[in-house]
Structure 1
Amino acid sequence: MTPTRDQLLSIALDYWPSFKDYEQEPSPEDERRFAVCKQKLQEHDRWRAFLRDLRRELPESTIGDYTGPGPCFCCVAYPDRNLPQPPLRWVVAACVSFLAPVYTVYGVQFDYSDNERVFKQLALWPLPSEIQATAHIIARRIEETFQVTALPHELAELRVPLFVQFTEPPETRLFHALFLDNPENLP
Protein backbone atom coordinates (compact mmCIF):
# COMPACT_ATOMS: atom_id res chain seq x y z
CA MET A 1 0.00 0.00 0.00
CA THR A 2 1.33 3.42 -0.95
CA PRO A 3 2.04 5.65 2.03
CA THR A 4 -0.19 8.72 2.29
CA ARG A 5 0.82 12.20 1.23
CA ASP A 6 1.35 13.18 4.89
CA GLN A 7 3.42 10.07 5.62
CA LEU A 8 5.67 10.68 2.61
CA LEU A 9 6.08 14.35 3.47
CA SER A 10 6.99 13.41 7.06
CA ILE A 11 9.58 10.92 5.74
CA ALA A 12 11.13 13.55 3.47
CA LEU A 13 11.28 16.06 6.35
CA ASP A 14 13.10 13.46 8.49
CA TYR A 15 15.86 12.96 5.93
CA TRP A 16 16.47 16.34 4.26
CA PRO A 17 17.16 19.76 5.84
CA SER A 18 14.69 22.60 5.50
CA PHE A 19 17.41 25.25 5.62
CA LYS A 20 20.76 25.70 3.92
CA ASP A 21 23.74 24.98 6.16
CA TYR A 22 26.66 27.09 4.96
CA GLU A 23 29.04 25.47 7.47
CA GLN A 24 28.99 22.23 5.46
CA GLU A 25 28.54 20.16 8.60
CA PRO A 26 26.16 17.19 8.25
CA SER A 27 22.74 18.07 9.63
CA PRO A 28 20.76 15.65 11.83
CA GLU A 29 18.69 14.89 8.71
CA ASP A 30 21.87 14.12 6.77
CA GLU A 31 23.09 11.79 9.51
CA ARG A 32 19.77 9.88 9.50
CA ARG A 33 19.82 9.63 5.70
CA PHE A 34 23.45 8.46 5.65
CA ALA A 35 22.63 5.73 8.20
CA VAL A 36 19.65 4.47 6.17
CA CYS A 37 21.67 4.51 2.95
CA LYS A 38 24.53 2.60 4.58
CA GLN A 39 22.08 -0.03 5.86
CA LYS A 40 20.24 -0.36 2.51
CA LEU A 41 23.47 -0.61 0.53
CA GLN A 42 24.20 -3.80 2.45
CA GLU A 43 21.34 -5.27 0.37
CA HIS A 44 23.21 -4.54 -2.86
CA ASP A 45 23.54 -8.28 -3.58
CA ARG A 46 19.74 -8.47 -3.71
CA TRP A 47 19.72 -5.51 -6.13
CA ARG A 48 22.38 -7.15 -8.33
CA ALA A 49 20.30 -10.35 -8.44
CA PHE A 50 17.31 -8.25 -9.48
CA LEU A 51 19.39 -6.71 -12.31
CA ARG A 52 20.54 -10.17 -13.48
CA ASP A 53 16.90 -11.32 -13.65
CA LEU A 54 15.93 -8.13 -15.46
CA ARG A 55 18.67 -8.67 -18.06
CA ARG A 56 17.24 -12.12 -18.81
CA GLU A 57 13.72 -10.69 -19.10
CA LEU A 58 14.79 -7.74 -21.29
CA PRO A 59 17.41 -9.18 -23.66
CA GLU A 60 16.81 -6.33 -26.15
CA SER A 61 18.03 -3.81 -23.56
CA THR A 62 21.34 -3.09 -21.93
CA ILE A 63 20.65 -2.92 -18.19
CA GLY A 64 22.97 -0.86 -16.01
CA ASP A 65 23.22 -0.18 -12.29
CA TYR A 66 22.99 3.51 -11.47
CA THR A 67 22.91 3.24 -7.67
CA GLY A 68 24.77 5.97 -5.86
CA PRO A 69 23.65 9.51 -6.60
CA GLY A 70 20.55 9.46 -4.38
CA PRO A 71 18.94 7.57 -1.51
CA CYS A 72 17.78 4.77 -3.77
CA PHE A 73 18.71 1.80 -5.90
CA CYS A 74 18.65 2.87 -9.56
CA CYS A 75 18.86 1.07 -12.85
CA VAL A 76 18.82 2.14 -16.47
CA ALA A 77 17.60 0.22 -19.54
CA TYR A 78 19.20 1.37 -22.78
CA PRO A 79 18.04 0.09 -26.17
CA ASP A 80 20.42 -2.57 -27.51
CA ARG A 81 23.14 -0.85 -29.54
CA ASN A 82 23.07 -3.65 -32.10
CA LEU A 83 19.52 -2.75 -33.15
CA PRO A 84 18.72 0.13 -35.53
CA GLN A 85 18.41 3.33 -33.50
CA PRO A 86 16.38 6.46 -34.16
CA PRO A 87 18.25 9.77 -33.74
CA LEU A 88 16.21 10.52 -30.60
CA ARG A 89 16.34 7.60 -28.17
CA TRP A 90 14.41 6.96 -24.99
CA VAL A 91 16.09 5.37 -21.98
CA VAL A 92 14.07 3.85 -19.13
CA ALA A 93 15.26 4.59 -15.60
CA ALA A 94 13.88 3.09 -12.39
CA CYS A 95 14.53 3.87 -8.74
CA VAL A 96 13.59 2.10 -5.50
CA SER A 97 13.70 4.51 -2.55
CA PHE A 98 15.72 3.73 0.57
CA LEU A 99 13.58 6.16 2.57
CA ALA A 100 10.02 5.01 1.79
CA PRO A 101 8.43 1.85 0.36
CA VAL A 102 7.99 3.41 -3.10
CA TYR A 103 9.58 3.27 -6.53
CA THR A 104 9.40 5.19 -9.78
CA VAL A 105 9.98 4.40 -13.44
CA TYR A 106 10.58 7.24 -15.87
CA GLY A 107 11.99 8.03 -19.30
CA VAL A 108 14.83 10.21 -20.51
CA GLN A 109 15.21 11.10 -24.17
CA PHE A 110 18.60 11.80 -25.69
CA ASP A 111 19.75 13.04 -29.07
CA TYR A 112 22.95 11.55 -30.42
CA SER A 113 25.16 13.74 -32.56
CA ASP A 114 28.74 12.84 -33.50
CA ASN A 115 28.72 10.04 -30.90
CA GLU A 116 27.86 12.53 -28.18
CA ARG A 117 24.71 12.18 -26.12
CA VAL A 118 22.66 15.34 -25.54
CA PHE A 119 19.74 15.45 -23.08
CA LYS A 120 16.41 16.31 -24.76
CA GLN A 121 13.57 15.70 -22.31
CA LEU A 122 12.46 14.01 -19.12
CA ALA A 123 9.17 12.08 -18.95
CA LEU A 124 7.94 11.24 -15.47
CA TRP A 125 4.34 10.83 -16.58
CA PRO A 126 2.87 9.85 -18.92
CA LEU A 127 5.55 7.64 -20.36
CA PRO A 128 6.03 7.72 -24.14
CA SER A 129 4.58 4.75 -26.00
CA GLU A 130 8.07 3.68 -27.18
CA ILE A 131 9.11 2.73 -23.64
CA GLN A 132 5.86 1.68 -21.99
CA ALA A 133 6.40 -2.07 -22.46
CA THR A 134 9.93 -1.95 -21.01
CA ALA A 135 8.78 0.31 -18.16
CA HIS A 136 5.91 -2.04 -17.37
CA ILE A 137 8.23 -5.06 -17.12
CA ILE A 138 10.65 -3.18 -14.87
CA ALA A 139 7.81 -1.92 -12.65
CA ARG A 140 6.31 -5.38 -12.31
CA ARG A 141 9.68 -6.91 -11.40
CA ILE A 142 10.38 -4.17 -8.82
CA GLU A 143 7.00 -4.70 -7.16
CA GLU A 144 7.48 -8.47 -7.05
CA THR A 145 11.04 -8.32 -5.77
CA PHE A 146 10.93 -5.43 -3.29
CA GLN A 147 7.24 -5.28 -2.26
CA VAL A 148 7.02 -1.54 -2.91
CA THR A 149 4.42 0.55 -4.74
CA ALA A 150 4.75 3.17 -7.43
CA LEU A 151 4.89 6.75 -6.19
CA PRO A 152 1.81 8.40 -7.72
CA HIS A 153 2.62 11.19 -10.15
CA GLU A 154 0.67 13.80 -8.22
CA LEU A 155 2.74 13.03 -5.10
CA ALA A 156 6.01 12.95 -7.03
CA GLU A 157 5.28 16.52 -8.19
CA LEU A 158 4.46 17.77 -4.68
CA ARG A 159 6.65 20.74 -3.78
CA VAL A 160 8.57 20.26 -0.54
CA PRO A 161 10.42 22.99 1.41
CA LEU A 162 13.68 21.03 1.50
CA PHE A 163 17.25 21.29 0.29
CA VAL A 164 18.00 18.10 -1.65
CA GLN A 165 21.56 17.97 -2.96
CA PHE A 166 21.65 20.89 -5.44
CA THR A 167 17.88 21.37 -5.66
CA GLU A 168 16.41 24.08 -3.48
CA PRO A 169 12.93 25.38 -2.68
CA PRO A 170 10.74 26.25 -4.48
CA GLU A 171 12.02 23.79 -7.13
CA THR A 172 12.31 20.78 -4.81
CA ARG A 173 9.71 18.08 -5.35
CA LEU A 174 8.95 14.95 -3.33
CA PHE A 175 10.47 12.99 -6.26
CA HIS A 176 13.83 14.65 -5.56
CA ALA A 177 13.69 13.88 -1.83
CA LEU A 178 12.83 10.19 -2.28
CA PHE A 179 14.93 9.41 -5.37
CA LEU A 180 17.23 11.79 -7.27
CA ASP A 181 17.71 15.53 -7.51
CA ASN A 182 18.94 15.29 -11.10
CA PRO A 183 17.03 12.39 -12.72
CA GLU A 184 18.09 13.21 -16.28
CA ASN A 185 21.79 12.82 -15.45
CA LEU A 186 22.25 9.16 -16.42
CA PRO A 187 25.48 7.24 -17.04
Structure 2
Amino acid sequence: MNFNPDKFDFWKIYEAIKGVYPIGINRENSKMFFSYPGLKELEHRIVENIHQAENFSDRWKSFTKELEKELGKEIVGTTNGQAPSFSSYVLLDKISSDEFTRTKELHFFVSLVGPFYTLIGQDTNTVKIEGQGTFGSTSYLVLSPELEFADAFHMLCERIESRFQGFRFVPFDVGRQTIEGLSVPYSDKKLNSVFHALFNDHIDLTIPSKIGKDHFKLEDWIKEGYVEGGEDWRIFPPSHG
Protein backbone atom coordinates (compact mmCIF):
# COMPACT_ATOMS: atom_id res chain seq x y z
CA MET A 1 0.00 0.00 0.00
CA ASN A 2 1.06 3.57 -0.62
CA PHE A 3 -0.40 6.65 1.08
CA ASN A 4 0.57 9.76 3.02
CA PRO A 5 0.83 8.50 6.64
CA ASP A 6 1.10 12.04 7.98
CA LYS A 7 -2.35 12.93 6.66
CA PHE A 8 -4.32 9.69 6.32
CA ASP A 9 -4.99 6.82 8.70
CA PHE A 10 -5.14 3.94 6.23
CA TRP A 11 -2.99 1.90 8.58
CA LYS A 12 -6.30 0.68 10.03
CA ILE A 13 -6.99 -1.14 6.76
CA TYR A 14 -3.50 -2.59 6.52
CA GLU A 15 -3.50 -3.74 10.14
CA ALA A 16 -6.91 -5.41 9.72
CA ILE A 17 -5.71 -7.28 6.64
CA LYS A 18 -2.42 -8.27 8.26
CA GLY A 19 -4.33 -9.52 11.28
CA VAL A 20 -6.30 -12.16 9.38
CA TYR A 21 -4.18 -13.04 6.32
CA PRO A 22 -0.79 -14.83 6.47
CA ILE A 23 1.02 -12.24 4.34
CA GLY A 24 4.29 -13.59 2.96
CA ILE A 25 3.40 -17.27 3.41
CA ASN A 26 3.05 -19.10 0.11
CA ARG A 27 -0.42 -20.58 -0.22
CA GLU A 28 1.11 -23.71 -1.73
CA ASN A 29 2.39 -24.41 1.77
CA SER A 30 -1.19 -25.14 2.73
CA LYS A 31 -0.46 -26.45 6.21
CA MET A 32 1.28 -23.22 7.23
CA PHE A 33 -1.12 -20.98 5.32
CA PHE A 34 -4.39 -22.38 6.64
CA SER A 35 -3.15 -22.82 10.21
CA TYR A 36 -2.55 -19.06 10.57
CA PRO A 37 -4.52 -17.99 13.71
CA GLY A 38 -5.86 -14.85 12.05
CA LEU A 39 -7.23 -16.81 9.12
CA LYS A 40 -8.93 -19.21 11.50
CA GLU A 41 -10.53 -16.23 13.23
CA LEU A 42 -11.73 -14.87 9.88
CA GLU A 43 -13.24 -18.26 9.02
CA HIS A 44 -15.08 -18.14 12.34
CA ARG A 45 -16.53 -14.71 11.47
CA ILE A 46 -17.65 -15.95 8.05
CA VAL A 47 -19.37 -19.00 9.55
CA GLU A 48 -21.04 -16.94 12.28
CA ASN A 49 -22.28 -14.16 10.01
CA ILE A 50 -23.03 -15.97 6.74
CA HIS A 51 -23.34 -19.73 7.28
CA GLN A 52 -25.56 -19.40 10.34
CA ALA A 53 -28.84 -18.67 8.62
CA GLU A 54 -30.49 -16.80 11.49
CA ASN A 55 -27.56 -14.42 11.89
CA PHE A 56 -27.29 -13.83 8.15
CA SER A 57 -30.98 -13.06 7.93
CA ASP A 58 -30.85 -10.69 10.89
CA ARG A 59 -27.62 -8.94 9.97
CA TRP A 60 -27.92 -8.69 6.20
CA LYS A 61 -31.09 -10.00 4.54
CA SER A 62 -33.38 -7.91 6.74
CA PHE A 63 -31.24 -4.86 5.98
CA THR A 64 -31.40 -5.36 2.21
CA LYS A 65 -35.16 -5.88 2.39
CA GLU A 66 -35.46 -2.49 4.09
CA LEU A 67 -33.30 -0.93 1.39
CA GLU A 68 -35.31 -2.60 -1.37
CA LYS A 69 -38.53 -1.16 0.03
CA GLU A 70 -37.07 2.32 0.41
CA LEU A 71 -35.43 2.39 -3.03
CA GLY A 72 -38.30 0.73 -4.87
CA LYS A 73 -35.72 -1.31 -6.78
CA GLU A 74 -34.85 -5.00 -6.79
CA ILE A 75 -31.84 -5.95 -4.70
CA VAL A 76 -29.97 -9.10 -5.66
CA GLY A 77 -27.90 -10.92 -3.03
CA THR A 78 -24.34 -11.82 -4.02
CA THR A 79 -22.83 -12.86 -0.68
CA ASN A 80 -20.36 -15.71 -1.18
CA GLY A 81 -20.09 -18.22 1.64
CA GLN A 82 -16.28 -18.21 1.36
CA ALA A 83 -15.46 -14.53 0.84
CA PRO A 84 -15.19 -12.19 3.87
CA SER A 85 -18.08 -9.81 3.25
CA PHE A 86 -21.78 -9.25 2.94
CA SER A 87 -22.62 -8.16 -0.60
CA SER A 88 -25.59 -7.35 -2.83
CA TYR A 89 -26.44 -5.06 -5.71
CA VAL A 90 -29.30 -2.74 -6.57
CA LEU A 91 -30.69 -3.34 -10.04
CA LEU A 92 -31.16 0.28 -11.07
CA ASP A 93 -32.18 -0.42 -14.65
CA LYS A 94 -32.59 -3.32 -17.06
CA ILE A 95 -33.27 -3.11 -20.78
CA SER A 96 -33.80 -6.26 -22.85
CA SER A 97 -34.26 -6.60 -26.58
CA ASP A 98 -34.22 -10.00 -28.25
CA GLU A 99 -30.91 -11.62 -27.20
CA PHE A 100 -29.39 -8.41 -25.79
CA THR A 101 -29.67 -7.21 -22.17
CA ARG A 102 -28.18 -4.08 -20.60
CA THR A 103 -28.20 -3.56 -16.84
CA LYS A 104 -27.08 -0.83 -14.45
CA GLU A 105 -26.10 -2.31 -11.10
CA LEU A 106 -24.90 -0.65 -7.91
CA HIS A 107 -22.90 -3.19 -5.91
CA PHE A 108 -22.35 -2.67 -2.19
CA PHE A 109 -20.07 -4.57 0.16
CA VAL A 110 -19.67 -4.67 3.95
CA SER A 111 -16.49 -6.34 5.17
CA LEU A 112 -16.09 -8.97 7.88
CA VAL A 113 -12.33 -8.27 8.03
CA GLY A 114 -12.85 -4.91 9.71
CA PRO A 115 -15.14 -1.86 9.84
CA PHE A 116 -15.04 -1.11 6.13
CA TYR A 117 -17.52 -0.91 3.26
CA THR A 118 -17.57 0.25 -0.34
CA LEU A 119 -19.81 0.70 -3.38
CA ILE A 120 -19.08 0.28 -7.08
CA GLY A 121 -21.57 0.69 -9.89
CA GLN A 122 -21.30 -1.03 -13.23
CA ASP A 123 -22.98 -0.85 -16.60
CA THR A 124 -23.08 -4.35 -18.12
CA ASN A 125 -24.13 -5.92 -21.41
CA THR A 126 -25.14 -9.54 -22.01
CA VAL A 127 -25.66 -11.18 -25.39
CA LYS A 128 -27.12 -14.63 -26.06
CA ILE A 129 -25.86 -16.31 -29.23
CA GLU A 130 -27.84 -19.35 -30.27
CA GLY A 131 -25.77 -22.48 -30.06
CA GLN A 132 -22.81 -20.62 -28.61
CA GLY A 133 -23.91 -19.50 -25.16
CA THR A 134 -24.15 -16.22 -23.24
CA PHE A 135 -21.44 -13.57 -23.30
CA GLY A 136 -21.17 -10.59 -20.98
CA SER A 137 -19.05 -7.48 -20.68
CA THR A 138 -18.83 -4.41 -18.47
CA SER A 139 -18.94 -1.05 -20.25
CA TYR A 140 -17.74 1.04 -17.32
CA LEU A 141 -17.47 1.23 -13.53
CA VAL A 142 -18.96 3.98 -11.35
CA LEU A 143 -16.74 5.00 -8.43
CA SER A 144 -18.80 7.75 -6.77
CA PRO A 145 -22.31 9.27 -6.93
CA GLU A 146 -22.70 10.07 -10.64
CA LEU A 147 -25.57 10.35 -13.12
CA GLU A 148 -28.39 7.83 -12.59
CA PHE A 149 -26.32 6.10 -9.88
CA ALA A 150 -26.08 9.23 -7.71
CA ASP A 151 -29.22 9.08 -5.56
CA ALA A 152 -28.93 5.39 -4.70
CA PHE A 153 -25.19 5.78 -4.10
CA HIS A 154 -25.70 8.56 -1.54
CA MET A 155 -28.57 6.75 0.14
CA LEU A 156 -26.71 3.46 0.49
CA CYS A 157 -23.71 5.18 2.05
CA GLU A 158 -25.97 6.85 4.61
CA ARG A 159 -27.90 3.67 5.42
CA ILE A 160 -24.80 1.47 5.70
CA GLU A 161 -23.05 3.92 8.02
CA SER A 162 -26.20 4.13 10.14
CA ARG A 163 -26.66 0.34 10.32
CA PHE A 164 -22.98 -0.54 10.72
CA GLN A 165 -21.73 2.02 13.21
CA GLY A 166 -18.11 3.08 12.77
CA PHE A 167 -17.72 1.58 9.28
CA ARG A 168 -15.91 3.75 6.73
CA PHE A 169 -16.03 3.85 2.94
CA VAL A 170 -12.93 2.47 1.19
CA PRO A 171 -12.14 4.73 -1.81
CA PHE A 172 -11.42 2.98 -5.10
CA ASP A 173 -7.91 4.51 -5.10
CA VAL A 174 -7.19 2.49 -1.97
CA GLY A 175 -9.16 -0.64 -2.84
CA ARG A 176 -7.26 -1.26 -6.05
CA GLN A 177 -3.86 -1.08 -4.35
CA THR A 178 -2.03 -4.36 -3.91
CA ILE A 179 -0.12 -5.83 -0.97
CA GLU A 180 2.96 -7.87 -1.77
CA GLY A 181 2.75 -11.37 -0.34
CA LEU A 182 -1.04 -11.25 0.14
CA SER A 183 -3.13 -14.22 -0.97
CA VAL A 184 -6.83 -14.78 -0.31
CA PRO A 185 -8.10 -18.29 0.49
CA TYR A 186 -11.48 -18.07 -1.23
CA SER A 187 -10.13 -18.05 -4.79
CA ASP A 188 -7.51 -19.98 -6.76
CA LYS A 189 -6.73 -16.81 -8.72
CA LYS A 190 -3.85 -14.57 -7.72
CA LEU A 191 -5.80 -11.87 -5.89
CA ASN A 192 -3.75 -9.50 -3.75
CA SER A 193 -5.58 -6.18 -3.76
CA VAL A 194 -7.05 -4.44 -0.73
CA PHE A 195 -10.51 -4.85 -2.30
CA HIS A 196 -10.10 -8.61 -2.65
CA ALA A 197 -8.82 -8.93 0.92
CA LEU A 198 -11.71 -6.95 2.41
CA PHE A 199 -14.62 -7.93 0.18
CA ASN A 200 -14.73 -10.45 -2.71
CA ASP A 201 -13.88 -10.88 -6.40
CA HIS A 202 -17.22 -9.93 -7.95
CA ILE A 203 -15.96 -6.75 -9.62
CA ASP A 204 -13.24 -6.61 -12.26
CA LEU A 205 -11.17 -3.70 -10.98
CA THR A 206 -9.17 -3.57 -14.22
CA ILE A 207 -12.10 -2.40 -16.39
CA PRO A 208 -10.48 0.56 -18.22
CA SER A 209 -13.54 2.81 -18.47
CA LYS A 210 -14.52 4.45 -15.18
CA ILE A 211 -16.57 7.48 -14.20
CA GLY A 212 -16.61 9.35 -10.93
CA LYS A 213 -14.03 10.20 -8.27
CA ASP A 214 -11.70 7.36 -7.34
CA HIS A 215 -10.97 9.16 -4.05
CA PHE A 216 -14.63 9.56 -3.00
CA LYS A 217 -14.94 9.98 0.81
CA LEU A 218 -11.18 10.33 1.16
CA GLU A 219 -11.77 13.08 3.74
CA ASP A 220 -13.19 10.48 6.15
CA TRP A 221 -9.67 9.07 6.51
CA ILE A 222 -7.84 12.30 7.40
CA LYS A 223 -6.16 12.04 10.79
CA GLU A 224 -7.80 13.90 13.62
CA GLY A 225 -5.97 17.16 14.26
CA TYR A 226 -4.18 17.15 10.89
CA VAL A 227 -3.35 20.67 9.66
CA GLU A 228 -3.05 21.13 5.90
CA GLY A 229 0.26 22.49 4.71
CA GLY A 230 3.30 21.81 2.59
CA GLU A 231 2.96 19.63 -0.49
CA ASP A 232 -0.50 19.25 -2.00
CA TRP A 233 -1.13 15.55 -2.73
CA ARG A 234 -3.93 13.14 -1.93
CA ILE A 235 -2.92 9.56 -1.18
CA PHE A 236 0.39 8.88 -2.89
CA PRO A 237 3.62 10.60 -1.85
CA PRO A 238 5.60 12.50 -4.50
CA SER A 239 8.18 10.45 -6.38
CA HIS A 240 11.84 11.22 -5.93
CA GLY A 241 14.85 10.58 -8.09
Q: TM-score, normalised by structure 1?
A: 0.80
Does residue 176 in structure 1 map to residue 196 in structure 2? Answer: yes
Alignment correspondent of 1:143: 161
Distance 1:154 1:102 in 2: 14
For 2:61, the aligned partner's letter is: R
Q: Match for 1:15 among 17, 20, 25?
A: 20
Is the contact made by 1:106 and 1:127 (CA closer than 8 Å) also made in structure 2?
no
RMSD: 2.8
State the 1:78 CA deviation. 1.3
Tell me by how many angstroms 1:102 deviates.
1.1
Deviation at 1:40, TM superposition (A): 2.9
Larger mean Cα displacement after TM superposition, 110-119 or 48-57: 110-119
Cα 1:142–1:55 shift into 2, 3 Å: same
Partner of 1:107: 121
Tell me the residue number matched to 1:47.
60
Partner of 2:42: 33
Q: CA deviation at 1:112?
A: 2.4
Q: Matched residues in 2 for 1:117 and 1:127: separation? A: 28
1:163 is matched with which residue?
183
Distance 1:49 1:181 in 2: 24
**Does residue 1:64 correspond to 2:76, yes or no?**
yes
TM superposition shift of 1:111? 0.7
- Give the total of aligned pairs: 179
Amino acid at match of 2:149: I
Greater shift, 37-46 or 65-74, is seen at 37-46
CA contact (8 A) 1:111 1:118 kept: yes
3-state SS of 1:77 partner: strand
Percent same amino acid at aligned positions?
21
* Higher gyration radius (CA): 2
Counterpart of 2:16, as a letter, is I
Deviates further, 99-108 or 109-118 = 109-118
The 1:21–1:113 alpha-carbon spacing in structure 2 relative to 1, beyond 3 Å, is closer
CA distance in 1, matches of 2:135, 2:89: 15
CA distance in 2, matches of 1:8, 1:157: 13
Deviations 1:156-183 (A, max 9, x none): 2332120123453xx6221111111342
Q: Deviations over 1:90-111 (max 9, x none)?
A: 2111000011111001012211
Structure 1 regions of 5+ residues with no counterpart?
none
User: Which whole-Å CA distance do the structure 1 matches of 2:66 and 2:91 have between them?
Assistant: 16
Structure 2 runs not aligned, ≥5 long = 1-7, 205-241
SS at the partner of 2:79? coil
- TM-score, structure 2 length as denominator? 0.64
Give the equivalent residue in structure 1 for 2:9: 4
Amino acid at match of 2:111: S
Distance 2:139 2:60 in 1: 27
